[in-house]
Amino acid sequence: MGQNEIISLQNIAVSFDGEPVLKDFNLQIGEGEFVTLLGPSGCGKTTTLRIIGGFVKPDQGDVFFNGKKITAVPPYKREVNTIFQKYALFPHLNVFENVAFGMRVHRKKEAEIQATVRRMLEMVNLTGFARRNVNQLSGGQQQRVAIARALANGPKVLLLDEPLGALDLKLRKDMQVELKKIQKQTGITFVFVTHDQEEALSMSDTVVVMDKGRIQQIGSPQDIYNEPKNAFVADFIGESNILDGVMAGDYLAEFAGKRFRCLDKGFAPMEPVDIVIRPEDIEAVPPQQAELSGTVVSVTFKGVHYEIIVDVHGFKWMIQSTRYQAVGQEIGLEIGPDDIHVMKKSEYSGMFGDYSSFSDEMEGLLNSPEGKGQ
Amino acid sequence: MKAKRAAVPYGIWMVIFIIVPMLLVLYFAFTTQEGAFTLQNIATVGRYSNVFVRSIWLGAVATAVSLLIGYPVAYIIARTRACWQSVLILLVILPMWMNFLLRTYAWMTLLEDSGLINNLLEALGLGRVHMINTQGAVVVGMVYNYVPYMIFPLYSVLAKMDPSVIEAAQDLGASQARVFWRVVLPMSMPGVISGITMVFVPAVSTFIISKMLGGGANLMIGDLIDMQFLGSSYNPNLGSAISLVLMVLILICMGIMNQFDDGESKGGGIPL
């Protein structure tokens, strides 16, 4: 990983029609890094990308590229290229001319264009497609043309705006591997936007979790998953049981009416905290062997494991286990000290909790007038 | 099946008012006034070749001017906010709600030697300019009447254009001018072609405009045909023959245009 800072966003603020989209936003991206901007729709991740690309001018703050201020530089003069959400290929040009577009605009020599396009098409496995009409290609193929077109310009930074969103699951997985491979091969800095947490975790060197126009956490995929900074990050990345708790002292957390040994310290005595316990860390055991026990209320087969919802005094826990549990059965939940993750209280505390309800989005649908009748 | 049945009324309409009249034109063009077969009418058309050339020339100039005026207008409308687009479109349509003859009369009074424009020019001390009864006046009249037909197809193509394609071109290093010539214009070719068709065809065959604004000296094919049916030189057979030749000429022009369109959409790439 190069340590040179290639892009720096400083104190950026943007609003559209008076609606703030980014607030006091600071982000540094190192050369050769694979950075993912991850967040729900409307969190400002695409806007961040468009600021780097030059399509959105920030109301406040500055953009630096290799230490040079580029805030006012128009898109066509920036050394970054973008892969757009819906590919945005030129429908009036064939595959070859799409890939060659950037080089033709820059008046490169014909021989160089021929060679580069051939090399790019080879890299994205589209050799032999040069003369095809882009409208006759499948989604996956169009995606590859878009990648080749952006890379043919030899950018220092490649911006990818949910490029895999329109592909089906299997193809998406393949493209994830392929993109990662291309990134390693070329050494180009990738700034990748997605709302798919799995995609973010599996591809990135650094994940930037965003919500409401602010960065919630920056870190490696492992950090983000294992050490979420607040309830939002814990809830957005993977599944989590989030409980209200207090720190009874160093290495001692109190939640669900019991005290548990944990690995966290340095909190004020009896400080209220959020406790995160990942479903896969909880062991289903006979009730008498565990501190907590409850009744199984639902079991869903997920292929790799069963997703089991357990009611413990009204709080619905999710556990993931490869062993089947029958609905109505009484089971114990075994939680080890390193399964407990303690977070400071934040604005998101109390917004996410147990598994007694659907996701917020689903809840919204059910509560809408159209949803009620069903 | 239902859809097919729904087409029956139009089918009948088409036979009575399109197919049959076409066959009648064909019949009259190849017969004498007594009904005997002849090629004389078609041969006579040759005598009016100067009228044909003038019509096609004036039609082409009017189409070109309409394109030059209409494209920027359509482009600007397509780029304004959605709520303003309908207002601007309305402004383009508005003159069309006025009677065609009235509009052309209005231009007569504007362009006359003692008309509004000339009075204004003289008041400004620039002197009078003879405008009425010139080819320029005919072109102005045609452009004024037909430019909406150029704007609409262009607008609908430009409004539908995916803005991210334009951003992609900028992203790849194209300045505004390059984006226009390399992406926007080629992608709007279908609109250009249909706009040209919709202006050129009525412009070539117009007759009122040339009569009112062009005077006697700038006779067009439409006037010639008009004279054969309603004028002093009553000769519907010759009129039909002229119509037929005009139709063939327009078909040829359109064929050439469409050829051009196909070439564009396949995207003139350099083969590997």
pLDDT at position B125 is: 86
**Nearest residue in chain B measured CA to CA from A161:** B164
Contact residues, chain B, for A102 at CB < 8 Å:
172-173
A310 and A257 assigned to the same domain: yes
Are the CB atoms for B270 and A96 separated by under 8 Å? yes
B220 domain residue, yes or no: yes
Interface check for B102 against chain A (CB to CB < 8 A): the answer is: no
A274 and A222 assigned to the same domain: no
Please give the full DSSP string across B238-264, using - where no structure is assigned. HHHHHHHHHHHHHHHHHHHHHHHHHHH
Are the CB atoms for B199 and B186 separated by under 8 Å? no
CA dihedral (A253, A254, A258, A264) in degrees, to 10, reads -10
Rounded to a whole number of angstroms, the distance from the CA of B82 to the nearest CA of chain A is 15
Burial of A35 (0-12, 13-18, 19+ CB in 10 A): buried
Contact residues, chain A, for B174 at CB < 8 Å:
76, 101, 105
* Chain B residues 153-182 with a CB less than 8 Å from chain A: 162, 164-165, 167-175, 178, 182
* Chain B residues 134-153 with a CB less than 8 Å from chain A: none
For residue A190, the surrounding DSSP H or E stretch is: strand A189-194
Q: Average per-residue pLDDT in chain B?
A: 88
A20 alpha-carbon distance from chain centroid = 21
Amino acid residing at B49 = S
Residue B141 binned pLDDT confidence (cut-offs 50, 70, 90) = very high
Rounded to a whole number of angstroms, the distance from the CA of B187 to the nearest CA of chain A is 6
A145 and A198 assigned to the same domain: yes
And the tokens for B20? Answer: 């049959």
Residue B269 binned pLDDT confidence (cut-offs 50, 70, 90) = very low
The Cα B77–Cα A356 span in angstroms is 52
Interface check for B98 against chain A (CB to CB < 8 A): the answer is: no
Interface check for A154 against chain B (CB to CB < 8 A): the answer is: no
B105 domain residue, yes or no: yes
Tell me if A91 and B165 make a contact (CB, 8 A cut-off): yes
Interface check for A55 against chain B (CB to CB < 8 A): the answer is: yes
Does the pLDDT of residue B272 top 50, yes or no?
no
CA dihedral (A113, A116, A117, A123) in degrees, to 10, reads 180
The Cα A27–Cα A33 span in angstroms is 13
Tell me if A105 and B172 make a contact (CB, 8 A cut-off): yes
The Cα B12–Cα B7 span in angstroms is 9
Contact residues, chain B, for A97 at CB < 8 Å:
267-270
Tell me if B170 and A94 make a contact (CB, 8 A cut-off): no
pLDDT at position A10 is: 95
Among the partner-chain residues B172, B183, B269, the one whose CB lies closest to the CB of A131 is B269
Domain end (from A183, A210, A226)? A226
Interface check for B183 against chain A (CB to CB < 8 A): the answer is: yes
Domain end (from A226, A261, A277)? A226
Residue B254 binned pLDDT confidence (cut-offs 50, 70, 90) = confident
pLDDT tens, position by position, for chain A (374 residues)?
446 899 999 999 999 988 899 999 999 999 999 999 999 988 999 999 999 999 999 999 999 999 999 999 999 999 999 999 889 999 999 999 999 999 999 999 999 999 999 999 999 999 999 999 999 999 889 999 999 999 999 999 999 999 988 888 888 898 999 999 999 999 999 999 999 999 999 999 999 999 999 999 999 999 999 999 999 999 899 889 998 999 988 899 999 888 999 998 889 889 999 999 999 999 999 998 888 999 999 999 999 999 999 999 888 999 999 989 999 999 999 999 999 999 998 888 878 777 765 555 555 555 554 433 33
Instruction: Quote the domain boundaries for residue B218.
Output: 57-232
pLDDT at position B261 is: 63
Total domain count, chain A: 2
DSSP H stretches of helix in A213-255: 221-226, 231-236
Residue B231 binned pLDDT confidence (cut-offs 50, 70, 90) = confident
Tell me if A88 and B183 make a contact (CB, 8 A cut-off): no
Strand A206-211 relative to strand A214-219, pairing: antiparallel
Domain end (from A226, A250, A284)? A226
Sign (positive/negative) of CA torsion A352, A355, A359, A362?
negative
A217 and A305 assigned to the same domain: no
pLDDT at position A1 is: 44
Among the partner-chain residues A75, A118, A131, the one whose CB lies closest to the CB of B171 is A75
B131-145, B160-174, B254-268: least confidently modelled range: B254-268
And the tokens for A315? Answer: 């709080």
Residue B268 binned pLDDT confidence (cut-offs 50, 70, 90) = very low
Total domain count, chain B: 1
pLDDT at position A159 is: 96
Contact residues, chain B, for A149 at CB < 8 Å:
168, 172
Q: Closest Cα partner for A201 from A324, A34, A68, A1?
A: A34
pLDDT at position A373 is: 37
Q: Closest Cα partner for A349 from A228, A203, A257?
A: A228
pLDDT at position B55 is: 92
B137 domain residue, yes or no: yes
B24 domain residue, yes or no: no
Rounded to a whole number of angstroms, the distance from the CA of B200 to the nearest CA of chain A is 25
A238 and A359 assigned to the same domain: yes
Burial of B45 (0-12, 13-18, 19+ CB in 10 A): buried
Tell me if A97 and B168 make a contact (CB, 8 A cut-off): no
Phi and psi (nearest 5°) for A249? 170, -175
A100 and A151 assigned to the same domain: yes
Task: Give the domain CATH number at B94.
Answer: 1.10.3720.10
A21 and A121 assigned to the same domain: yes
pLDDT cut 70: percent of chain B above it: 95
- Which residues 6+ apart lie within 8 Å of A102 measured at CB? A81, A149, A152, A153, B172, B173
pLDDT at position B270 is: 33
Tell me if B174 and A53 make a contact (CB, 8 A cut-off): no
B221 domain residue, yes or no: yes
- Which residues 6+ apart lie within 8 Å of A308 measured at CB? A284, A296, A298, A299, A300, A318, A319, A320, A321, A325
A196 and A292 assigned to the same domain: no
Q: What are the tens digits of pLDDT across the range B108-134?
A: 999 988 888 998 998 888 888 888 899
* Chain A residues 223-282 with a CB less than 8 Å from chain B: none
Interface check for A91 against chain B (CB to CB < 8 A): the answer is: yes
Does the pLDDT of residue B266 top 50, yes or no?
no
Instruction: Report the alpha-carbon angle B84-B87-B93, nearest 5.
Output: 145
Tell me if A90 and B169 make a contact (CB, 8 A cut-off): yes
B119 domain residue, yes or no: yes
And the tokens for A311? Answer: 């009611």
The Cα B116–Cα B137 span in angstroms is 14
Instruction: Quote the domain boundaries for residue A252.
Output: 231-372
Region class of A326: left (phi > 0), else alpha (psi between -120 and 50), else beta:
beta
The Cα A318–Cα A311 span in angstroms is 9
A222 and A235 assigned to the same domain: no
Region class of A88: left (phi > 0), else alpha (psi between -120 and 50), else beta:
left
Tell me the average pLDDT across B56-77: 95
B201 domain residue, yes or no: yes
Task: Give the domain CATH number at A250.
Answer: 2.40.50.140
Tell me the average pLDDT across B20-48: 91
The Cα B135–Cα A157 span in angstroms is 58
Strand A157-161 relative to strand A80-83, pairing: parallel
Among the partner-chain residues A55, A88, A114, the one whose CB lies closest to the CB of B162 is A88
A237 and A161 assigned to the same domain: no
Task: Give the domain CATH number at A149.
Answer: 3.40.50.300
Identify any residues that bridge with A333 across adjacent strands, giving them in sequence order.
Answer: A284, A292
A236 and A322 assigned to the same domain: yes
Interface check for B83 against chain A (CB to CB < 8 A): the answer is: no
Tell me if A105 and B269 make a contact (CB, 8 A cut-off): no
A246 and A345 assigned to the same domain: yes
> Number of Cβ pairs closer than 8 Å across A and B?
93
B252 domain residue, yes or no: no
